[in-house]
Amino acid sequence: MTADLFADTPASDRRNEPLGPGAVVLRAFALAQGAELVSAIHALAAISPFRHLVTPGGHTMSVAMTNCGDVGWVSDRRGYRYDAIDPETGQPWPAMPALFMRLAAEAAAEAGFQRFVPDACLVNRYVTGSRLTMHQDRNERRDSEPIVSVSLGVPAMFQFGGQGKGVTPLKIPLVHGDVVVWGGPSRMNYHGVLPLKASHHPLTGMDRLNLTFRTAR
């Protein structure tokens, strides 16, 4: 993979790249809001800090995470689930910023999903070597709604497969400001992120930040 594919896409070069039915990459869709989004993430993490969750099988996730919205996604020995209370602080998760809500709704509409109103936003922080194994998002009660995923900071290689584990996934380079939306026939497709390569971004340093919007309840 050549380095130029990982350069930030100019805002003037916004384009849509279909991945399949109901799935699309919106190149540079969030580029103009990048600095404001990163600042908002830091403010959220000051209330509900990033942490490395433990899977039901006892493995510690390499990606650190926190949440905002009505509910947050959590994992421990009891399983995966959504909860209105941050188990680390004992308080409700921070409210979802209006900027986040607006971006998620506009990206979903651009992808053909109107009136998307997420109630959960997972905030992930990747460092060099962090990865997200291939998985389906199955914990949402309203899986008729799409997933909206916003990439910020260091570039990553996103994998987007099918609804069976035997499907060879597409490998899609994502850079700062790119947004991926998948729903409809592709809502339950497997997806993941390959181990993050060492890089640097002026807004996030060596980190990649990711916002994943969902309608959980």
The contacts of residue 176 (CB under 8 Å, 6+ apart) are 8, 31, 34, 151, 152, 153, 154, 155, 201, 203
Q: How far are the Cα atoms of 19, 37, 68, 153, 174 from residue 205, in angstroms, in the given order? A: 29, 15, 23, 7, 16
Helix pair 98-110, 34-47: axis angle to 10 deg: 130
Tokens 């409700």 belong to: 92
For residue 142, the model assigns a pLDDT of: 80
Tell me if 151 sits within 8 A of 211, measured CB to CB.
no
Which amino acid, 140?
E
What's the per-residue H, E or C state across 113-171?
Answer: CCCCCCCEEEEEEECCCCCEEEECCCCCCCCCCCEEEEEEECCEEEEECCCCCCCCCEE
The band of 165, judged by pLDDT with boundaries at 50, 70 and 90, is confident
Percentage of residues in the chain with pLDDT exceeding 70?
Answer: 94
For the entire predicted model, the pTM comes to 0.94
Count of beta carbons in the 10 Å neighbourhood of residue 38: 17
- Say how far apart CA 82 and CA 119 lie, in whole Å: 11
pLDDT in tens, 15-60: 999 999 999 999 999 999 999 999 999 999 999 999 999 999 999 9
Residue 9 pLDDT greater than 90, yes or no: no
Mean pLDDT of 197-211: 98
Please classify residue 82 by burial: count the beta carbons closer than 10 Å to its beta carbon, then call 0-12 exposed, 13-18 middle and 19+ buried: buried
pLDDT in tens, 174-190: 999 999 999 999 999 99
What CATH number does the domain located at 16-214 have? Answer: 2.60.120.590
For residue 1, the model assigns a pLDDT of: 31
The residue with greater pLDDT, 10 or 107, is 107
Q: Please give the radius of gyration of the chain, using alpha carbons only, rounded to the nearest integer.
A: 16
Tell me if 81 sits within 8 A of 74, measured CB to CB.
yes
Indicate if the alpha-carbon torsion angle 20, 152, 140, 159 is positive or negative. positive
